[in-house]
Every structure is written in C-alpha cells, then in structure tokens.
Structure 1
Amino acid sequence: MEGSWLPVVVGLVGLLVGAAAGLAFRWSERSQSREPEVPTPAVSDDVAALLSALRSTSVLLGPGGEVLRATPDAYTTGLVRNGRLTHTTLNDLVAAVRADGRIRDEHLDVPRSAVPGADRLSFEVRVAPMAGGRVLLLADDQTAQRRLEEVRRDFVANVSHELKTPVGAIALLAETAADAADDPELVRRFAAKMQREAVRLSALVKEIIELSRLQAPDNEVDFVDVSVDAVVAEAVDRIRVEAESRDITVVVGGTGGLRVFGDHSLLVTAVRNLLDNALRYSENGTRVSVGVRPRDGIAEIAVVDQGPGISSENTGRVFERFFRVDPARSRETGGTGLGLSIVKHVAQNHGGEVTLWSAPGRGSTFTLRIPQAEDHGDGPAPSHDEHAPPASPAGAGGDSRDPHPAR
C-alpha cells in the first residue's frame, strides 16, 4: 500500500511546484512591465505647522510643479488655481530656482484675474529650493502700500484744485449778497446760487470720500453671490425720477439670471454712475438703454446713450479723476468728474474692467465687465452680429451704430 501511494504523492508535489513556479513567473513579468512609482514627498506635520505660522502667503511645490500645500490667501489672490501656479512669471521664477538651486527675491505685478484690464496685485516674492525636489514660494502682498502711495501722490493736488472752485464761488456770492442787503430780489438770486454751489460741494465731498474708500489700503469688499438683475433694477430705480422729469426713456434688456461674486452696493453705485453720466449727456426725449449678456465667463452690463459722443483723443481720459469732456456742461448739470473714476475702481476691485466705445454724433457705450460667479456659458447668441450691443432691449428701436467694435 505504502509503495502504491508514493507515485501519487510525488505527482502532487510536482504539480504544486509547477503551479508555484508559473505564478512566480507571471508576477515577475508583470512587475517588470510596470513603470516604477516615484514617491511623492510628503508634507510633514512640522513643515505644515511652520508654513501655517508664516505671515506671508506660502505655496509648497512638488517636483512636478504640483501644489503640495498652500495657504488660503494663495487661492483668494489668484496665485494658485487647479493645483498649479497661475501666472507664467511665477512658473519661470520657480524653473530658474530649480535650474541653479539659488534663492531668488523678486518684485512681481500680476493681474487679479484673467479679465483684460483687471487690477494688478503687487507681491514681494521669495522662491527657495528644498529637499526632495520641492520648492517653497513666499509672497508678501504689497498692493495696499502701492495704492496708498498713489492716493497720497494724487489726492492733494486733485482735491485742492477742485474744492477751490465751489468754495470760492460761495464766498464771493456771500460777499455780493451782503453788499446787496437792501435789494431783496438780488439777495434771493444770490442765495439760490449759493445753494446750488453748496449742493455741488456736498456731492463733490461725498464722491471724494467714496473714491478714497475704494482706494484705501484697508478697503474690505464684502464679496457675496450677487444677482446682476437686482443690481441693474436698483440702479435704474435710483435714476428713474430724473429720467422721467426729462422725458428720457430707460430701456432694460438682455440675458437674465446672471450672477457675479462681489459687493452688491458697490456694483449698484457703478451702474448708477454710468446711468447718471448717460442722462447728463442725453437730450430730453431721447433713450438710454441698459443691456446685460454673458461672454466668455464675464457678465457684461452696457449702458448706451444717444448723446453727442466723445472724440478719440478724450476716450482714453474719461476715467481719470476730475476729467470732464465738457466742463461747462458739467457745471450746469452738477457733475463732479469723479463718477466714472469710481466705476473704474469698483470694476478693478471686482477683478473686472470698464470699457468705452464712442464716436462724435453716435453716442457712447460704457460696458462694465465683471467675472461671473460660475460658468454659465456664452448664453444665447446676440440678436444681431457678434459686435452688436451686449443687449438690444426689445423695442429699443433701430440704432445701427456698433458700440462694441472688435478689440
């Protein structure tokens, strides 16, 4: 019996050995065919704690340029998006550090967003190599200091000049009224003029304060999800009385439901200032149109008037503080020369821009462009060609001019 089981046992052992050898061969073959895994340098708790304790904005990059760790403000300032550095200048600086291993300090100005003409942020940047092919980027935001320097440089010269006019006028009128104390009719006339100058002075001071707040280094913009429809509706409501008193029709149209990420009150101020400007340069009985449309992830709010238009030599200056295309008309209508400058700074604080198309005799189109809160696509096609107004409100009439030439 024992002899008869021996061949069976030997056969089973041989079968097991063969199976094991086959499995070992297959495992070896598969192991050789796989690419070797490159270990990703981990961020230790000590390194993470150290980066969190730094006052500077910090970004730790892996060997392949991927972001291993970044402080929250690296995202809010737009330095990092989708796990990568956003700006080419930063990537070039990192590449130079990798090439020679030297620490580099640079001053860089980078755009706040991808919108052309968006405000630029100023950073003092230090890039240093670390072990394991990693690179550490430290950035100190100098934007507030830059703005403060600009405000200090321009504020005194501009404001002192502008305040002298109404203050001097009030003083002269008061002196003249005192000399005409025996003539009630002259006193009433001079008192009315003093009242107009006082109203103008009050508006000027109010807008100076608003502009200074927008340019202040500690300006805090309360960014929330904002309805563009609500912004336009409130802005139009604020100028409705003046428009009706001059028989100017305000027409609103375009794409509804757009949303942006920003400050509701500041956006209302910007759109209202554009409407105020349109009314100021429009004749009685004409029309002002407000159009809204999405374009490449941007919400465009265009205000179109039928005014006299602006010459090409002035279109580049209309957003300057205290610049007036027609100073005489501004004095008559109470314009301060700050409204469009405020619009520009509101747009920049929201990562957007304000643009102008105008031609003498063909009116003007001011377009406020703010990044949308989320991607809604390009929306429906314009009712005319791609260079038509952002919104041609239904029933607005047939204005054939092109407010958005190719740019």
Structure 2
Amino acid sequence: MSRRKLFWKLVPSYWLVLLCSLLVLTGYTYYSAQSVYFRELKTTLEARAEAVAERARTELIRDEREALDALCRTTAELLSARITVVDSEGRLVASSTGGMPSGEGLSARPELREALQGKRGAQTRYDHRQGRNLFFVAVPVANPNGEVIGAVRVARPVTDIRNTLDTMAGRILLAGLAVGVVAMVVGVVMARRISRPLEAMRLAAERYARGDFERKVPVPEIEEIGQLAQSMNWMAERLNENLNTIRQQQHELESVLSNMAEGVIAIDRNESIIKMNRAAGEMLRVHPGEARGRSVQEAIRYANLQDFISEMFASVMPREGDMTVYGERDRHFHVYGVRLLSNEHNVPDAGVLVVLHDVTRLRLLEQIRRDFVANVSHELKTPVTSIKGFVEMLSDSGAGDHGEQKRFLDIIARQARRLEAIITDLLTLSQVDDASERGELSFESCRILPLLEDARHLCETRARDRRMKIVIDCPHDFSAVANPHLIEQAVVNLLDNAVKYSEPGGQVRVRAAQHSGEARIEVSDQGQGIDRHHLDRLFERFYRVDKNRSRKMGGTGLGLAIVKHIMQVHEGHVEVESSPGEGSTFRLRFPLQSREGGDAAVN
C-alpha cells in the first residue's frame, strides 16, 4: 500500500471539506432564496388572481366572453402576466393570449384541477408555446351560492427570478471561492506548521537509527508536538548514553577476548559460530571474521573438535578434554566447553561456549623435562658404570699385567674427564641463569676480533689434529657492548662443534660484522649438515642429532644450550641454517648498545 506524506493528507482533505462546505452553503443559499422568491411570487399572483376572479365572476355567470377577453388582456398588460379563465368543466372561456392550448384539456392542468375543486393551485412548468418556464397560480371562481363556476389562472415567467438567483449564486460562489482560497492558503500554512515538525522528527529518528544523536529535534510551539519533540530529545540522550555504555562494554569485551591467550568460540543453538577471538583463529588456522555466521562443520576442519562440540550440544554439563591439531608442527590443546543459558528461561539452550588452551609448550617442556632427566641419568650413569666396572676389574686382577692395568686406568681417566665435562657444562648453564636473574653479569665495550682469535686458539689443537683450518673475517675496529668471557665461550662452543662434525681437511669460517644496530657472528662449516626436523630442538639440553657419534666425539650435549643461554642474557638469539650435505651456519645476533648489569662476571 502506497504511503503519502501527512501534508498531502491534511491539505487535500482540508480543501475537500472546504469545497464541500462551499457547495453546500451555495446550494442552501440558492434554495432558500428560490423558496423566498417563489413564495412571494405565489402570494402576489394569488392576490392578483383573486382580484381578477372577483371582477370576472359576473361576466362568467352571464357568459360574456368578450368582456372576459378584454378583462384578461387589460389586466395581463398591467400585470405583465398571462391570464386564463376557464368554466367549471375546464374549458377555456377567455385568455390574454387567445387560442386554445395544444395537447390535453386545461382541466388536466394540476393548478386548474385544484382550483376547480375549490382550492388554490400553483405549479412551475415549461411552456412549449413560449419556450420557457412559467409559474402558474389558479384560484376558484364561485357564484353567490358558493358553487365553483370556473377558475382564473395567472402565469408569469420565472426567467427573471432564475436570472436573479443565478447572479446571486454566482456572487456567493465567487465570494466563497475567494474565502476558500484564503482558507486554503491558511490551511497549507497550518499543515506546514504541523507536518514540518513531524518531518523533522522523522529525519531525527532516521539519524537516531544510524547512531547519530548529536543533533536535537527543534521544539515547535504546538504543545502536543512540542511535548513529542522533547520526549524524542530525552529518548535520544538516554539512547546515546546506553549505546555508549554498550559500546564501551563491547570494546572492553573485545579487548579482553582479543588479548586472551586462550581461544574462545561462541556457538549458537543452530551450531553456527557467532564469535571467535584472534587466539582461536590462530590456533585453528581460521580467520575469525570469515568464520562468523558459518556452521561449525564448515568453518572448523578438525573432526575431533567437531565431535567435542556435538557432544556438548547433547549434554547440559560442562565438559573438558584434550585434542591435537596435526600439521607441520603438532599443537596440543586443552578444550573446555559449557552450555550457554537462555536469558528468558535460564535454560542451557542458547548455544555452547568453547575455550581452547594451547598446552603445546607445556607438553614440550614436559617432554624436555623427561628427556633431560633420562639424558642426565644416562650421561652420568655411563661413565660411572665404566669407572665402577674397570675399578672392579683392577681389584680382581690384583697385580696383573701392567699394560692391561694402564689401559684400564686410561679408560677410567677418560670417563672421569667426560663426567667432569658434563658437570662443568651443567654448572656453566646454572651460573649463567643465576647471574642473569640476579643482575650480576657485567657488560663492557670490547673488540670482537681478539675474542674470535682467542676462541680459535682454544680450538686450534683439535682443528690441527683433523687437518682443518679456521678462517676469521672480522673488521679490526668492530666492537660491541657484551660480556667478553661469555661471547668467547659461545664462539668456542660453535667452533668446537664445527671442527668435530666436519670432515677432516675442511675449513671453518668465522665472520663478524654489525648490521642494523646489532652484532652478528657467524660460524660456518663444511660438515654433513643437519636434517630440518632436528633444527627446532637443536638447542635443547642433551639433545643430539647423532647420539652415537656425539658420544664418540666426546660431546656432552650441552654446548648449544649454553650458546642459547648466553645469547638470551645478551638480549639476543642464535640462528641456524643447515641442509644435509651442505654444511651448517650458526649465527649469533645481539644488540650493539650497552645494557645494565652487575659487577661480577661469570667464570
């Protein structure tokens, strides 16, 4: 159904009522004036007809038609009317016009029929002979005995009356139209005064719907509309306050959800996602915005989580469990689910809330702890067992072959050195951690080249035994703020590994330079390289790529872990690039700027 503005409903209605009122007023005035005119005309004509009847009574009794004709013509000229005299049978006796009317007899005329019955008759009708409307009045003519012996009829045209009435009606209509135009203009102005404030309120309501509450509705002078405008302004203020509160709460909620480490997924009763925070999107590899409004089966690709959500909808109690997302790096999550309550009935039928807690690091740390315990036990048990066994063999052999005893003692000494190396590296790790936590590490500006040369000197014996060459590429004036002893130890550990795990006769290259405000030291070898799946765990304590070869080469499995901790206390990190058969490059990166520390250095 089409809708129109209030203005176009008020104005046409007002004009229609005004037009109808004008027409009714004009019609009523015309009818009233016509009644007055015809009533006066009837009275006048009846009086004149009575006068004629009085004079015609004697001639009618005597049947003197010529005298009656003369009377009719003389009187008709004086009265400007048409006069007719008929006998008691309705036959024409005399007429001011002469001649017999065409058509039916005169007794059939209504006015004459009433007059012949002793009454007065009057009628207006169209006269075909004259071609115009005439007003006929007839009165009876009685003899002295009271018997009706005829009738006298007087007729006058009503044209003058009609013209007068038409003129009067035209004037009334013109005056009414003039008044109507003025009233229409007033009506338009009044309709505008009513519709404009309502239109302003409509526009204000649209602004409120768009969230714009700054502009207020003007308050008009009309009391009812003014009260409505004030109510709308008050409503806008309340809405603005409530919406600001809701926006603030929503912003706070969004901030909390966005910054939560846990993933949060809200699902409605139709199993469609209504909210997913950033952490959940990263965990499930889904964009939160794209997941909103989609079904769980469509947005989440992991069957174990889909099954967990389906089980939540089948239960009213909270549930929790563990799930694993498999990929290039497996991730482990602890999942907690709870049913959402309906606001109306406080019944758990509004949907499901799922919280994902990433426990991958905890699982990794737990695995590292187990591996560490197992490795420490194994690493310490192996030399202790060897020492114990050979001591028992020496005890059993007594003063046997001196050469055999010497071989046993060499093995005991070698295992003791291995045990000492493990304990020394463990103590180094512990000392670095403790000194860093207590702020007891000292940092100073030092040249890097002497540190690299000292590290090469410490590894030169092993390199010479394997016919390997250590090449240093470092600017002479390159310096950085660091703990010299720790940097030297980190480079020694990297060089020692490079020499041990490279083929004899190869070359190890050490490069040092500054880049983008940080110091970089690279140690590159030409060894057998490392598979990619070992790189993530390479810096864990006691982690070995090739355990048999590492123990054979005398490694403790703690060298790279020490390098990692040294870089951490320097607010830096260590990187590795390696491919099987192409050698490895270890890169130390730490800031060049000075840092605060204690006075004690770790030895």
TM-score, length-normalised on structure 2? 0.36
The equivalent of 2:19 in structure 1 is none
The equivalent of 1:276 in structure 2 is 496
Shift of 1:327: 1.5
Deviation per residue, 1:338-386 (Å, 9 max, x gap):
1110000000100111100111111111111111138xxxxxxxxxxxx
Matched, 1:183 2:401: yes
Deviation per residue, 1:8-60 (Å, 9 max, x gap):
xxxxxxxxxxxxxxxxxxxxxxxxxxxxxxxxxxxxxxxxxxxxxxxxxxxxx
User: In structure 1, how many angstroms separate the alpha carbons of the residues matched to 2:369 and 2:422?
Assistant: 19
User: In structure 1, how many angstroms separate the alpha carbons of the residues matched to 2:581 and 2:466?
Assistant: 20
SS in 2 for 1:275: helix
User: In structure 2, how many angstroms separate the alpha carbons of the residues matched to 1:352 and 1:243?
Assistant: 28
Output the amino acid matched with 2:546: D
User: In structure 2, how many angstroms separate the alpha carbons of the residues matched to 1:287 and 1:228?
Assistant: 21
SS in 1 for 2:477: coil
Matched, 1:168 2:385: yes
Output the amino acid matched with 1:232: L
Matched, 1:199 2:417: yes
The equivalent of 1:392 in structure 2 is none
Match of 1:317 among 522, 529, 537: 537
Matched, 1:213 2:431: yes
Output the amino acid matched with 1:200: R
The equivalent of 2:556 in structure 1 is 336
Shift of 1:245: 2.4
Output the amino acid matched with 2:528: P
Deviation per residue, 1:174-195 (Å, 9 max, x gap):
1223233323332222211111
Counting only pairs closer than 5 Å after superposition, residues 62-211 of structure 1 correspond to structure 2 as: 159-181=376-398, 182-211=400-429
Q: Is the 8 A contact 2:375 2:542 kept in 1?
A: yes
**Cα distance change, pair 330–158 in 1 and its aligned pair in 2 (3 A):** closer
User: In structure 2, how many angstroms separate the alpha carbons of the residues matched to 1:311 and 1:211?
Assistant: 26
Counting only pairs closer than 5 Å after superposition, residues 238-277 of structure 1 correspond to structure 2 as: 238-277=458-497
User: In structure 1, how many angstroms separate the alpha carbons of the residues matched to 2:439 and 2:379?
Assistant: 24
**Cα distance change, pair 219–200 in 1 and its aligned pair in 2 (3 A):** farther
Q: Is the 8 A contact 1:292 1:302 kept in 2?
A: yes
Output the amino acid matched with 1:355: E
User: In structure 1, how many angstroms separate the alpha carbons of the residues matched to 2:559 and 2:591?
Assistant: 22
Count of aligned positions: 233
Q: Is the 8 A contact 2:449 2:474 kept in 1?
A: no
Q: What is the aligned-residue identity percentage?
A: 41
Q: Is the 8 A contact 2:425 2:559 kept in 1?
A: yes
Output the amino acid matched with 1:222: S
Shift of 1:157: 6.0
Query: In terms of mean alpha carbon deviation, does 250-259 or 166-175 score higher?
Result: 250-259
Matched, 1:228 2:448: yes
Shift of 1:225: 1.1
SS in 2 for 1:309: coil
User: In structure 1, how many angstroms separate the alpha carbons of the residues matched to 2:548 and 2:374?
Assistant: 21
Match of 1:286 among 499, 506, 509: 506
Write 1 or 2 for the structure with the bigger share of helix.
2
Shift of 1:258: 2.2
Unaligned runs of 5+ in 2: 1-247, 262-364, 595-603
User: In structure 1, how many angstroms separate the alpha carbons of the residues matched to 2:427 and 2:373?
Assistant: 13
Shift of 1:203: 1.0
User: In structure 1, how many angstroms separate the alpha carbons of the residues matched to 2:562 and 2:430?
Assistant: 9
Deviation per residue, 1:123-150 (Å, 9 max, x gap):
xxxxxxxxxxxxxxxxxxxxxxxxxx99
Q: Is the 8 A contact 2:526 2:583 kept in 1?
A: yes
Shift of 1:219: 5.5
Output the amino acid matched with 1:172: G
User: In structure 1, how many angstroms separate the alpha carbons of the residues matched to 2:439 and 2:517?
Assistant: 26
Q: Is the 8 A contact 2:469 2:508 kept in 1?
A: yes
Matched, 1:308 2:528: yes
Deviation per residue, 1:242-297 (Å, 9 max, x gap):
21222111111144422222211011000111001101101221111101122211
Q: Is the 8 A contact 1:258 1:372 kept in 2?
A: no
Deviation per residue, 1:309-332 (Å, 9 max, x gap):
111111111111011111122222
SS in 1 for 2:438: coil
The equivalent of 2:565 in structure 1 is 345
Counting only pairs closer than 5 Å after superposition, residues 18-57 of structure 1 correspond to structure 2 as: none
> Who wins on radius of gyration, i.e. which is larger?
2
User: In structure 2, how many angstroms separate the alpha carbons of the residues matched to 1:350 and 1:172?
Assistant: 44
SS in 2 for 1:316: helix
User: In structure 1, how many angstroms separate the alpha carbons of the residues matched to 2:439 and 2:582?
Assistant: 38
User: In structure 1, how many angstroms separate the alpha carbons of the residues matched to 2:514 and 2:471?
Assistant: 18
**Cα distance change, pair 300–157 in 1 and its aligned pair in 2 (3 A):** same
Output the amino acid matched with 1:168: T
SS in 2 for 1:260: strand
Q: Is the 8 A contact 1:287 1:306 kept in 2?
A: yes
User: In structure 1, how many angstroms separate the alpha carbons of the residues matched to 2:542 and 2:505?
Assistant: 28
Query: In terms of mean alpha carbon deviation, does 164-173 or 175-184 score higher?
Result: 175-184
Output the amino acid matched with 1:272: V
Q: Is the 8 A contact 2:527 2:581 kept in 1?
A: yes
SS in 1 for 2:504: coil
User: In structure 2, how many angstroms separate the alpha carbons of the residues matched to 1:159 and 1:318?
Assistant: 17
Output the amino acid matched with 2:578: S
Shift of 1:208: 0.8
TM-score, length-normalised on structure 1? 0.53
Q: Is the 8 A contact 1:357 1:366 kept in 2?
A: yes
SS in 2 for 1:319: coil
**Cα distance change, pair 166–186 in 1 and its aligned pair in 2 (3 A):** same
Q: Is the 8 A contact 1:299 1:370 kept in 2?
A: yes
**Cα distance change, pair 231–373 in 1 and its aligned pair in 2 (3 A):** farther
**Cα distance change, pair 107–371 in 1 and its aligned pair in 2 (3 A):** farther
User: In structure 2, how many angstroms separate the alpha carbons of the residues matched to 1:254 and 1:265?
Assistant: 18
User: In structure 1, how many angstroms separate the alpha carbons of the residues matched to 2:374 and 2:411?
Assistant: 27
Q: Is the 8 A contact 1:239 1:276 kept in 2?
A: yes
